[in-house]
């Protein structure tokens, strides 16, 4: 009976350790932005397999799950069907439980990857978080000006990403100005930031040319107001097919169910052994 009890306790500990290990994420979440103004629509390959097809300028994908570790990202013109030389290639190392944006930036002749680490944590109650990324290859350094708040992002150059601004959920009139001046390169009136959302505003396009300089406002994450856990902007899935990740608390629930079940078996066996011992004593 003692050996049986020890075995059951070991099984319980092993089950809890197994579930605890499973609850630690092994994937990163990655999305891709096409921000090269003169590049055609592209296909994106990960480790030799097509993950994203026909991504056009100014398009951004949903987040998808990719195993943590080293990967090779290749970008081909959509018309090439993954053959020939890629227009862009990058080796990236991804960390588990981390969100990334990989943007193809620059003119086609100089296209390159811009790898950004996204902070999709919950804004404070009544607030939204906003980040600015300068992805226009011919625009000079800029200031981001908010009506009523002044310059909120100073002197951002091509490929710069600001920190996340914690702003009251509201509607803002924003301006992209030549750094250190009041010269407006891009006017952005009526930008609404909603409570519990995380955003990135990308300056894309060309200051002198076509497509014209514009702002791409992406919703990175959405949170239930006053909730602790995020609702992603889009379901994460495994590359390339997509899919869904389990709810954040599902492993915790499983752990408790396993622990309770194992405990119930343990006490049931102990009670049975006790009854058997009593019966033997009476017979003797």
Q: Are residues 191 and 264 in the same domain?
A: no
In a domain, 275, yes or no: yes
What pLDDT does residue 232 have?
Answer: 55
For residue 277, the enclosing domain spans: 2-20+250-283
The residues facing 44 across adjacent strands are: 52, 75
In a domain, 74, yes or no: no
Q: Are residues 213 and 154 in the same domain?
A: yes
In a domain, 135, yes or no: yes
Q: Are residues 165 and 219 in the same domain?
A: yes
* Residue among 95, 56, 88 nearest 72 (CA): 88
Can you give the pLDDT of all 284 residues of the chain as single tens digits? 444 344 433 433 333 333 333 334 699 999 999 999 999 999 999 999 999 999 999 999 999 999 999 999 999 999 998 999 999 999 999 999 999 999 999 999 999 999 999 999 999 999 999 999 999 999 999 999 999 889 999 999 999 999 999 999 999 999 999 999 999 999 999 999 999 999 999 999 999 999 999 999 999 999 987 654 555 555 444 344 333 333 444 444 444 444 444 444 444 445 554 454 445 544 55
Q: Are residues 159 and 207 in the same domain?
A: yes
What pLDDT does residue 45 have?
Answer: 96
Residue 237: helix, strand or coil by DSSP?
Answer: coil
Q: Are residues 178 and 268 in the same domain?
A: no
CA gyration radius for the chain? 26
CA gap 229, 233 in Å, rounded: 13
What pLDDT does residue 22 have?
Answer: 35
Nearest-5° Cα angle at 157, 153 to 163: 40
In a domain, 116, yes or no: no
Q: Are residues 162 and 254 in the same domain?
A: no
Q: Are residues 175 and 261 in the same domain?
A: no
**CATH of residue 210:** 2.60.40
In a domain, 173, yes or no: yes
Q: Which two tokens stand for residue 254?
A: 């499983």
Q: Look at the chain and report how many structural domains it folds into.
A: 2
What pLDDT does residue 149 have?
Answer: 87
In a domain, 8, yes or no: yes
In the numeric block, the tokens 């869904």 are attached to: 244
In a domain, 117, yes or no: no
In a domain, 69, yes or no: no
DSSP-assigned states of every residue in 1-48: -HHHHHHHHHHHHHHHHHHHHHHS--EEEEEEEEE-TT---EEEEETT
């Amino acid at each position: 009976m003692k050996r049986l009890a020890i075995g059951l306790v070991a099984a319980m500990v092993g089950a809890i350790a197994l579930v605890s290990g499973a609850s630690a994420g092994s994937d990163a979440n990655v999305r891709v932005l096409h921000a090269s103004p003169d590049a055609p629509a592209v296909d994106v390959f990960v480790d030799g397999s097509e993950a994203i097809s026909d991504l056009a300028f100014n398009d951004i994908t949903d987040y998808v799950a990719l195993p943590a570790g080293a990967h090779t990202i290749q970008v081909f013109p959509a018309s090439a069907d993954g053959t020939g030389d890629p227009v862009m290639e990058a080796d990236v190392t991804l960390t588990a439980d981390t969100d990334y944006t990989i943007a193809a930036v620059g003119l086609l002749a100089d296209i390159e990857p811009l790898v950004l680490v996204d902070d999709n944590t919950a804004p404070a109650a009544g607030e939204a978080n906003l980040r600015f990324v300068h992805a226009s290859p011919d625009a000079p350094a800029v200031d981001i000006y908010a009506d009523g708040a002044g310059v909120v992002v100073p002197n951002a150059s091509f490929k710069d990403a600001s920190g996340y601004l914690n702003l009251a959920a509201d509607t803002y009139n924003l301006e992209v100005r030549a750094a250190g001046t009041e010269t407006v390169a891009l006017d952005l009136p009526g930008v609404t930031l909603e409570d519990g959302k995380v955003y990135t505003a990308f300056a894309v396009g060309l200051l002198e040319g076509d497509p014209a300089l514009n702002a791409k406002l992406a919703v990175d994450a959405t949170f239930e107001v006053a909730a602790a856990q995020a609702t992603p902007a889009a379901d994460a899935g495994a590359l390339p097919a997509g899919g869904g990740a389990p709810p954040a608390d599902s492993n915790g629930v499983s752990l408790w169910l396993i622990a309770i079940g194992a405990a119930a078996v343990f006490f049931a066996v102990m009670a049975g052994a006790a009854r058997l011992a009593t019966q033997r004593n009476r017979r003797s």
